[in-house]
Structure formats: structure tokens, C-alpha cells
Chains A and B, each alone.
Chain A
Amino acid sequence: MSSLRHIGRDLPRPDAPDKATGKALYICDLSLPGMLHGKIKFSEHASARIVHIDTSKAERLPGVRAVLTGENVPEVRFGFMRDNLALKKGRVRQFRDEIAAVAATDPDIAAEAVELIEVEYEPLPAVFCPRQALEEDAPLVHERDASGRPRKSNRLALEVGHATGDLAAARAASRHVVEGEFTTPLIQQSCMGTAGCIARFDARDNLTLWAKTQIPFLAQRDFRGALAAMGLAGRECRVIVPTLGGAFGTGLDTHAYEYIAILLAHRTGRPVKILYDRREEFACLSPRQSSVVHVEQGCDENGKLTFRDVRVLQDNGAYTSWGATYPSVMLLPATSLYQVPVVSFRADIVYTNNTYCQAMRGYGNPELTWAIESNLDELAEVAGIDALDLRRINVNRPGEVTPMGLKVTSCGLEQCLETVGRKLRWSERRGKQRGKRRGVGLASLVHVGGGGRIYRSDGSGVILRFDDYGNVHVSTGAVEMGQGLHAALVVGVAEAVGVRPEQVFINQTDTATCPWDVGTHASRGAYMALSAVMIAAKKAREKIFRFAAGAFAGEVGRNIEKRRKKNPDYRPPDFDLPASLEPEHFDLADGEVFLTAAPDDPALRVGLDRLLRAMHFCRGGDMLTVEAFYDPPTELPDWQKGRGNMSATYAYGAQGAAVEVDTDTGEVTLLGVVAVHDVGRVLNRQTLEGQIYGALAQGIGYALYEEILTERGRILNPGFTDYKIPTVAEMAFPIEVEFVETNDEQGPFGAKGVGEPGLVPTAPAIANAIYDAIGVRIRDLPITPEKILAALATRAERKPR
């Protein structure tokens, strides 16, 4: 491949026109002939025995086709630890437990029928605080595990830890040591398109499920398990992914509502759709985990970090999703953000009767980076070292192997920090604006940038099918959820194959037609799919050039013949084709095959479409379809030891914030935010900036506004009225985004994954700026005006003026 034609250009996204015109079809827009509407009856207790369910009134309502409870369906078990049931039987463990479901001809009838279901409960003891849940006499959320063995504690059997070096010795030898406890709340992912699915069985009991998922193939495996439980082992389960109205981690697990739709569809013999409303999305879908992080860090007299000790307590809620594996990603910042010689990490994940949690963008990293980077500013102050200098002294560098065993290929963190410092006018402003109650702060991040192996395969398959018109049809198991995967695929395929971007078409993600992919998470979508594309494109070009070696001379002859017919004075190019053409003589660009020795003469260029037709309209012809599967050269970490090079490369970045705090109202005004990210290589600047802007807004919501409030397990603010995500009015401050291009040797075209990093360091950068402005440290997210006023009042009491 010669110089790059499409990479780095701002081509508009291929999915945008349909979305701008209302033509894109989301799950809420799909319907099938004869389709019924499903509705779920949720628990009204956080912990109770179900004494009796009376569904008779619901069953008699005209239009109702089925009423299911845990008593009249096969037991469908699911979840990361298989501790959840599609419909609960005998016992509820959280407010949103699914205890019955209705299918009816109309959504209103289904809703009315659910209201008619009467449930008698006997309340049982409950536990809502993860610390209390660990006490010996705490009520057990699950008395037995999935295999029926009795459980003794609410602690999950998921051990994630790490120990490098002699912690006690390092602590004792440190000149300065600072510790603190930092907490983060439950967060609603807040996809604008709510959750939903449609389940349909054919007459042979094969299932098709239209699902709002990021993991079509792992989901397919889960649903096949459900089919087996229903006596339908071996039946096909096809998962089709419609346009997604955001995902942000909500699609990393399969959900009870999907299994319920499957059960209802099978019971009624009709397609069944379940679509959550916003209240259900808030109260009945799993939010981001809350966490309590205790961190202690030390440094020597020169500011060199001596150790880091991190303990995490994570509230799992009543059941287990993949979100319980947050600590696997927490290991990254714990062991590998800045150079730390001695590290200790331990995470406890605990069952409670709160709503069970699932993943969200960043996957444990924001929780931990919030603690580490806040605490680092405290350490800098105690040590009397500038906070930016402290980070410079300990910055990660290319070639380093971290305590976790992460092999750092490229690393632009130092440049990111320098740029943030310059853009914030750090030396001019840091610590010098307290009179105006203004401050600046910054924080860094490390995240997986080349996939994240938390499953035995981190692979991604791709199929490129060439049609007779020179177009390339791309099938991949990766999922477009708004992030711009299809935009990346279009430029990547156009570049790697050598066609024009408008010749590239992306097929709908469908397990029946697309190759396996582990899922679109861990910022891996574009990285993995494009890595597979590079391999597939190479195969395609080899086949095309091998065919061209035999067919090119004839096609050129036809070119010349055509021109002569049009223009009798036409003079063929003054170029002798080599007597024997070899594959290595050719190149392909903009959809035309040509000789590298004579790239410019139009008569010596042959359209790819013509070659493709010639390739199969002949005896023994061939259709050009190539496939590739890429699984990066990484390691599945040993979680108990917290070691393993889980990603092919690592993404770095730094963000800075300038704030002003009103000490009368506690209100924080953002004066500006700077985000500088090591992205390896910019594939499409506009889409990339969109990822960072969007993540920043989520990071700002996390820092200042967002929190799901609960009272004894009940969610108190299930809607946008009382749960505030940033609007365009809050986002009215200058945002500067800049990219450091380290051209990673592992990445496709040098790129790294970038989907999540933009929200990882935002909260600590803001908290550090607030401290710089008014000298109070908030350790509990979100940083609300009430917390700031309370902290100011406490300080005033301590230091009477």
C-alpha cells in the first residue's frame, strides 16, 4: 500500500443520513405481523417470599394471550454466575425482580393485565449496605449458589487481586504517605433508546431474536442455553442487531426481559416484543456499579512513587452480570497508571438486595482513576511537589513492563500531560487563583487500547464479499451502537482493499450471516474489526492480483479497442506490457487495478468490477469472498494474581479542567476542559472527536450531576426529571480536544481503541481543580453544591478564623 488515501479524512458517517431522516430502524420501530406485546410484573419488595400469585383476572382480560410466572415455565437460568432466573420462583431479592409476564395484542392491554396480577408477599430480612452485607450475621441474599451448594457469605467467589513487592517495607521507607476513601454512585447509562427485543419462533422452533446487544455471539450462546432449558436443545438461535439507540455497556449481558420474550413467544406461537419505557429503563435495567475505593500512595523525597495500596468494595446488587468483573479492568490503573514499583490491590464484590448492576463505559477504570488521581494530588500537596511535576516524574514510558505485566508498546502520556499543562496555563494559574475561587486540575488515564482479554477469546471475524459491480460488502460481528464503527470500517476497508469509500457497504450484524466476534466492549470494536479487515484485504488483493496476472492484458486490449471505436485517431499508450505479468506487478486503488509501473494512463487501468465479473463468468469461475479472524497476541490474566498482558496496546491520555466555585451556593462552573489523548493514529478526526466530546459529557455528568438514589433498595429517581444528565446548556464552556499520534506498531494503521478513555479521568481532573480553587477535597461523587457547602462548613469549624 502506498500513501494513505482515506485514513484521517473526515468522511461523513455512513449511518448518519438514515438517522437524520428518521429512516433508521431501532428496536422500538420494528414490528412483525401478528406480533404480541409483552409486559413484565416486577417485585414490590426488595426481599420477600412469594406466598401466592393470582393471575386469574389478568388471564380473563380480552386480548391477553399468555400469563407466565416462575411456576408455569421451565426454569431458565442466566447471568455471569448463573444466579438469576428469567421469572423468579418463590423468592424475590430486589425491587425489580421479574415475577410474572403477560403477552397481549396491544401494549395497553398488556400493561392493564400486569396491574391485575395479585401477589402476596412475606417480607424477609434484607441488606442494602455492602459493608453490612459482609458482617457475619447479615441475611444471605442467596442461600445457595447456582449448583445448589449452600453459601456462607454474601461475598462473591470472584477473587481479583495483585501483589508486587513488599508493601509494609515500601510504606515504611516512604517519605510521604497519603490515604483516602473515595466513593462513586450508581449511574444510569441513559441510552436515549430504551431496552427492548422481539422474539419469534418459526414452525420448527428455531428462534430469531432482534436484540439491543453489544455481544450478539455470546448472547446467542446464552439464548441457546435457554432453548435447551425449554426442551429445544440444538434449535437455531439467530440474533439480529437493529440500529442501537446507544448502549454504553447495557448490551454486555443478556437480560431477563429477553428470556421472558422468548418464553412468551414460544408459549403463544406468535412474535413477542418487549420494550421498556424510561421508568423501567431506570428502575428495572441494571445501572453502573457503585464503589468504595480505599487508596494509599507514597513517594520518596524526590516525588518518585514508592507504593500504591488499593482496596475496593463493590456493591453487586442481588444478581451477577459481567459488571462484577470490573476489578479485572481496575487492575490497569491500580498497577499501571504511572510507574509504581510496589502495588497491592484487592477487590471484594458483595451481594446486597439493591438493584443488580452491569457494565458501563470505562468498566471499573473511572471508579479507580477517580480515587488514584484525587489521592495523587493530596500526595503532591503533602510532599510539597507541584501536582503536574509529580505526574511527570512518574510518567509511563514506551517499552516498560508494568507490575501487572502489561507490555507498553507506544505511550504518549508524557506528551499528553505537557499539552494539558500548556493549554491550562498551569504554571500561571495553578494555586494562584484562590482569591477568585478559581482553580485548575488534571488527571491521567491508562486503558486497554488493543482489545481487552477478559474471555478466552478476544477475537473478531470479518467477511468481505465482492459483488459484480466492484462493491465490497462487509460482515462483522462487531456492533455499531453510535460510536462510529461503520465509519471506521468504511475508511479501513476502502484503504486496505483499495476501493472508493462509497463502494463499501456494511451489512447488518446478524449471527446467521456474520462471523464470530466476542463483543463490542473494551474500546475494541474498530481496533479488532480493522485488524481483521487488514488480513482479509491482503487476501483479497492477492487473489485479485493473481487473477489479474492472467486477465489484465486482455482487459487492457478491450480498453484500447473501445477507445479506438469511439475515436479512430486514438493512440494507445506508449507502454509495453511485460510479456509475463506477475501478481506483484499490480496495485489496486479507487476501485481500479493497474500496474505499479504505469499507474496513470486510464487505458492501462481496469475497473475492479470488470475483473470480478471476468473472475466468475468463466468455466471454473470463482466468487471473490475473503474472510479473516483476528485474535490479538495477548494473555488472559490470572485474576487472583492480577497478572497478564490483556491488551495488544494501551491507550493513554490526560485531561484538565478549569473551574470557578461559588462558595455561597456551592455551585461549580466549568470554565474550560482540555482532553489530550494518545490514540495511536487518527482514522477519522470528526468521529474521534465525537467520541471524546461525548465521553467528556458523561464524565462531567459523573463528576457533578448524576446519581441513582435508593432507599432500602428502591430507586427514587427513575426518570430524567430527577436524574440529571448534562444538557447543551450545561456543556456551554470551551472544550479543547487534541490527539497525540504515537502510531502504535500493533494497531491497524497505527490506531488504538478510544471508545472509553474520554470519561475516565474527567471526574478527578474536576475535583482537583475544585480543590485548587477553594481548598476542599470532595471524595464522594457526584460533587454536588450540598457536598461543597458541607465541606466548607466543616473546614470553617475546624479552622475558626
Chain B
Amino acid sequence: MKIPLDFQLNGHPTTAEVHPGARLIDLLRDTLGLTGTKEGCGEGECGACTVLVDGRPVNSCLFPAPEVDGSEVVTIEGLAEPGQGLSILQQAFVEGGAIQCGFCSPGMILAAKALLDRNPDPEEGEIRRALAGNLCRCTGYVQIVGAVRAASRKLRASAGEEVR
């Protein structure tokens, strides 16, 4: 038996059919071809598969696919408008040296986006708490925290602009 789903994916109305036990990550990567979401551990420990469901960061490797019915899902592919270049947050990661191997970057950027959407001016401690579920083996996190701070500054400077 398959469950029909109707949801918003990166701003586009999307329909799909999934098995009751399907994981959100498999729906995104295998069925819908959005491979920007990465699977790092499959048990919710590394955060590489983080996507936003109704603005909330979730581990898509644990999140049941049927639950996105009626929701708004944002993946890393949904941050930059086509033809508009990178979002301010993505640009901050690129310019801040916050990306090395890049495998954790999609999840890390989405976790940071969820934070900045909620709180455009977070303290460093809040940034660290918001990203504590996202493992990175390359960077030591210094430039990641720096990039989130830089993005926060830029976003507030261009006040009113949505955090993309």
C-alpha cells in the first residue's frame, strides 16, 4: 500500500506516493532526485540530512516521509532562487571559508537558516546550540560560526529581506 502525499517542496506544489515506512531522505534523494541532502549516519546523530519541515530543522533520515503531507519542505536546493546566485547565508559560507569537503554543508546551512529565521541576531552561544547536532570533521567549526554571524549581520543590514 502506498500513501499519496501533497506538499510544498522548495516552494513548488509536489505530489508523490510513498510506503508507510518510507524515510523523508529517500523520498527526497531517490524519488525526487534532490541529492543535495546528504546521509551521513542514518541514525540522527550527524545532521548531514537536515531539511526544514514547516521551518523546523529535522533529520530527514529519521523523519517519516508520510508526515510531510500538507507541509512545506525546504532542502538545500531551495535556498537560492534560480538565476539569482547564492543566498546571503550560502554566500557567507562560501566567503567565510566555512566549507571544506562540503558533505555537512547542506545540513549545516539549513540548520543555520532555521536559527536565523527564528532569531536574526543570535548570540554566539545560540549559534552553537543550534548547530550542535550537525557534525563537521573538516573545519573545527570556527569559520562556520563566523559565517553564520556574518550572514546575520548582512541580513539585518538588508533588513526585511527573507533569510534565503
Contact = CB atoms under 8 A, between A and B. Distances in A.
Interface stretch (A11-19, A155-163, A594-602): A11-19
Contact of B102 (A28, A482, A728): A482
A26 B101 CA distance: 10
A12 B94 contact: yes
A482 B66 CA distance: 35
A278 B99 contact: no
Given A192-B103, A697-B140, A22 B76 contact: yes
Residues of B in contact with A, size category:
35 or more
Given A16-B93, A20-B94, A191-B101, A735 B106 contact: no
Contacts of A520: none
A735 B145 CA distance: 13
Contact of A689 (B90, B99, B133, B143): B143
B65 to A, nearest CB: 15
Given A248-B137, A720-B46, A278 B40 contact: yes
B36 A483 contact: no
Contacts of B100: 246, 482-484, 690, 694
B87 to A, nearest CB: 9
A10 B45 CA distance: 33
B41 interface: yes
A194 B96 CA distance: 26
A697 B97 CA distance: 16
A580 interface: no
Interface in A726-747: 726-729, 731-732, 735
Nearest to B148: A728
Contacts of B96: 686
A245 interface: yes
Interface in A13-43: 13, 15-26, 28-29
B139 interface: yes
B36 A245 contact: no
Nearest to A695: B140
A501 interface: no
B68 interface: no
Nearest to B105: A19
A648 B3 CA distance: 63
A16 B35 contact: no
Interface in A204-241: none
Contacts of A735: 140, 142
A719 B41 contact: yes
A690 to B, nearest CB: 5
Interface string B49-82: 0000000000000000000000000011101100
Contacts of A246: 100-101, 103, 137-138
A527 to B, nearest CB: 18
B37 A17 contact: no
Given A21-B90, A694-B140, A244 B101 contact: yes
A725 interface: yes
Given A20-B99, A729-B132, A693 B142 contact: yes
A28 B39 contact: yes
A779 to B, nearest CB: 26
B109 A20 contact: yes
A185 B131 CA distance: 28
A284 interface: no
Contact of B40 (A10, A193, A727, A728): A193
Nearest to A697: B140
A244 B103 CA distance: 8
Contacts of A349: none
The list of the 8 closest CB pairs from A to B, nearest first, reads A22-B36, A19-B102, A482-B101, A245-B103, A693-B140, A697-B140, A22-B76, A720-B45
29 contacts: A13-B99, A15-B102, A18-B102, A20-B102, A21-B76, A21-B80, A21-B90, A22-B35, A22-B76, A24-B102, A189-B137, A191-B137, A192-B40, A243-B101, A244-B101, A245-B102, A278-B46, A481-B101, A686-B96, A687-B97, A690-B138, A693-B139, A694-B137, A694-B138, A719-B41, A719-B43, A726-B140, A732-B128, A735-B140
